[in-house]
Amino acid sequence: MTATDTHRAIDAVWRIESPRLIAGLARIVRDVGLAEELAQDALVTALEQWPESGVPDNPGAWLMTTAKRRAIDHFRRNKRIDRKHQELGYELEARRGGAAADLDAALDDDIGDDLLRLMFTACHPVLSTEARIALTLRLVGGLTTEEIARAYLVSEPTVAQRIVRAKRTLAEARIPFEVPRGAERAARLSSVLEVLYLVFNEGYSATAGEDWMRPALCEDALRLGRILAELAPKEPEVHGLAALMEIQASRSGARIGPSGEPILLLDQNRARWDQLLIHRGLAALERAHELGGARGPYALQAEIAACHARARAPDETDWARIAALYDALAQVAPSPIVELNRGVAVSMASGPQAGLEVVDRLTAEPLLKGYHLLPSVRGDLLAKLGRFDESRAEFERAAALTRNARERELLLARAGAVATVRPRT
């Protein structure tokens, strides 16, 4: 193996092992920031030794052993500073003696719980959304700072700063490294699901930049969603979110045209929808339903996505059912965006006038002020009703609002198309 080959192999090992490593260490040292530092130290050692000695047979165990050794050193150095650290140091050293193998086995059993603890901690509501995303992608997703920066179109130092500040906030707020229980659990789980779906959406419909999609981010979110489904299998909304992401991701191959232009759902070539992902999504949705979670917000959104997935052609879409699902969603998770989507479904089920009546009620909605999809939907409905001047104005307004270059091109094209449809006098 060349040096580059070994480095690529080490990168791959790191991506696989780092979340579990950090999680296991975080439980021992009770501090996510310190855990990551120790894990990074172990990586540095690996980068020094493995090119010579080769990648060990059990790289995870090697990294953990190395990291624990560094932890002991760390606590020894700091023992005069903090009694707690002193105790932890002794604990580690004692275990290092005879029971190392047992400890590793015990850690293995707990690793699922530790990873879950890590997810909850990285998504703690005390952190800003940006911080939660960056920390989760880094610690749980195993992404490098550079990968995160590229995904979110910010500089690497910006992401690095975000992560440093996030770790400091967690330490200062003394956030315990644990899985929340009882009254707190639902809200905390919501926070985790929110982070994952935000990451997915950034990849699925990039809010800014040249590309309309960033598939790697979708893959990362999907992977984290699947991991969470294994870690928290009794939570219906976890399966609901997994289902939603699998089914939406199934359309990735059909959403972009040959010149990189976005293709709307109803115009997509459904032969390019990934049936394996649809199958997985429907299975996850089934699990959500079996757990009694059919009315959860993610499960409802997943059911809407499933309606599209089950239609072999656009005219087979059960729009009435979709409209009803949006009704239900509007009750459990009301928002102007849900109402906007409901308007679209109503227009498909009952005609553009009915849809426009729903959508028109949103024009004064402050939350939708800068949201390009509102004028975009209005533009579409107005065109269908023959109100071409208004339609064109709406598409132009929408184009001005979106920060995504591809989306803007699409909207301007639609404005242009409406202009030519106008009957000439």
| Residue 77 to residue 72: CA distance in whole angstroms | 9
Instruction: Please state the closest distance from residue 353 (CB atom) to other proteins, in A.
Output: 26
313 contributes a contact to other proteins by CB under 8 A: yes
Cβ-proximal residues to 219 (8 Å cutoff; 6+ apart), any chain: 203, 249
Binding flag, residue 271, other proteins (CB under 8 A): yes
Any contact of residue 128 with other proteins (CB under 8 A)?
no
Binding flag, residue 13, other proteins (CB under 8 A): yes
Contact with other proteins (CB under 8 A): which of 150, 185, 223, 295?
Answer: 223
Site for other proteins, residues 275 to 294, rule: CB under 8 A:
276-277, 280
Nearer to other proteins, 43 or 359 (CB): 43
Please, what is the minimum distance in Å from the beta carbon of residue 131 to other proteins?
A: 23
258 binds other proteins (CB under 8 A): yes
Q: Please identify, using beta-carbon distances, which residue of 3 and 271 lies nearer to other proteins.
A: 271
- Rounded to a whole number of angstroms, the CA Rg of the chain reads 25
Shortest distance in whole angstroms from residue 106 CB to other proteins: 18
Residue 138: name the closest of 159, 117, 116 by CA: 159
Q: Is 215 in the site for other proteins (CB under 8 A)?
A: yes
Residue closer to other proteins (CB basis): 29 or 231: 231
Give the shortest CB-133-to-other proteins separation in angstroms: 17
Is 231 or 322 the residue whose CB approaches other proteins more closely?
A: 231
Asked whether position 254 contacts other proteins by CB under 8 A, the answer is yes
272 scored as a contact of other proteins (CB under 8 A): yes
Nearest CA to 341 among 370, 315, 368?
A: 368
State the Cα–Cα distance between residues 201 and 216, nearest whole angstrom: 12
13 versus 346: smaller Cβ distance to other proteins: 13
- At closest approach, how far in Å is the CB of 235 from other proteins? 16
Q: Of 228, 245, 216, which is closest to residue 190 (Cα–Cα)?
A: 228
Please identify, among the stretches 26-34, 74-82, 265-273, 377-385, the one whose residues bind other proteins according to the rule CB under 8 A.
Answer: 265-273
Q: Which is nearer to other proteins, 16 or 264 (CB)?
A: 16
Please state, in angstroms and rounded to a whole number, the distance separating the CA atoms of residues 316 and 374: 26
Q: Which of 66, 191, 252, 268 binds other proteins (CB under 8 A)?
A: 252
Q: Does 253 bind other proteins (CB under 8 A)?
A: yes
CB of 361 to other proteins, least distance (A): 35
Q: Which letter does DSSP use for residue 361 in this model?
A: T
- Give every CB contact of residue 4 below 8 A, 6+ residues apart in sequence: none
C-alpha to C-alpha distances, 12 to 5, 93, 103, 360, 393, nearest whole angstrom: 11, 30, 26, 51, 51
Q: Residue type for 300, please?
A: L
224 binds other proteins (CB under 8 A): yes
Cα separation, 189 vs 121, whole angstroms? 11
CB distance 55 to 18 below 8 Å? no
CA pair distance 387, 391, nearest whole angstrom: 6
Residue 409 binds other proteins, judged by CB under 8 A: no
The reply to whether 97 sits near other proteins by the rule CB under 8 A is no
- Residue 237 one-letter amino acid: E
- One DSSP character per residue, 143-199 reads --HHHHHHHHTS-HHHHHHHHHHHHHHHHHTT--SS---THHHHHHHHHHHHHHHHH
Residues 367, 383 contacting (CB under 8 angstroms) = no
9 binds other proteins (CB under 8 A): yes
Which positions lie near other proteins, rule CB under 8 A?
A: 8-9, 11-13, 15-16, 112, 215-216, 219, 222-227, 230-231, 252-254, 256, 258-259, 269, 271-272, 276-277, 280, 313, 315
